Amino acid sequence: MVSNHANAQYPNVRETIINLPTFDDRLLHYGYFVGVNSYDFKIYYDKNYYEAKFKDIEVQSSTGFNVGLIGDLRVNKYINIRIEPGLYYSKRDLIYHNHPLFTDESDRLREVKSTYIHLPLIIKFSAARINNYRPFVLAGISTDFNLSSNHKNIDDNFSNVFRTEPRNLNYEIGLGFDFYLFYFKFSPSIRGLFSMQNELIPDSVNNPADSPWTGGISKMVSRGFAINLTFE
């Protein structure tokens, strides 16, 4: 009687339909993700580079793509441990502006292409579910295996080959939302990726400091962000 009266008084009020009400009770579940990324380099120079009054190397980032799988282990109502192995492709251009040894314009540009096998271990901290969505934050560490590092190549920048280390270690932080749809959970997220290791391999000249491409660099580390669209 009361329900009928309420429906008659408020005819446009509808009860929210809760999708996938037991989804987060699973101990294990799986999924996949697709997304885009943008990487750059944080470059540290030695004092001789600045004493020579060279301009900083300009890093131009391009949009890359990500794709991978997800394995999720439930710890409790608010914490999950995830592995998200994936393939990340990116490209960065290094532009050298005013080095006096460069007589050809092609010497001023180096393309650094990276194809990473990306292996992260992530802890996901979720807030309480509100109807059909749930915010979360992410934190973790990851290791990358760069299939395009050229680390075994005997050539270097004097042959237009820029070399980087084949493996690095990163930390990651991010945030996103879970949206519970009728058949699956959709989760867009954005995260930052920060390398903790020097990735530069100096040019193989008699005195590595003499290389106009790598001689003034003491350390070079990757930084980037990724937007992932997850389907679970």
Q: How confident is the model at residue 13 (pLDDT cuts 50, 70, 90)?
A: low
DSSP for 109-164? EEEEEEEEEEEEEEEEEE---BTTEEEEEEEEEEEEEETT--TT-S--GGGT---B
- In the prediction, which pLDDT does 172 show? 97
Q: How confident is the model at residue 2 (pLDDT cuts 50, 70, 90)?
A: very low
Q: How confident is the model at residue 190 (pLDDT cuts 50, 70, 90)?
A: very high
- In the prediction, which pLDDT does 211 show? 86
Q: With 50 as the cut, is the pLDDT of residue 67 above it?
A: yes
- In the prediction, which pLDDT does 43 show? 94
H or E element at residue 180:
strand 167-180
Q: With 60 as the cut, is the pLDDT of residue 8 above it?
A: no
Segment 222-231 mean pLDDT: 96
CATH topology of domain 30-231: Porin (2.40.160)
Please state the domain extents for the chain.
30-231
Segment 135-161 mean pLDDT: 94
Contact 193, 221 (CB under 8 A): no
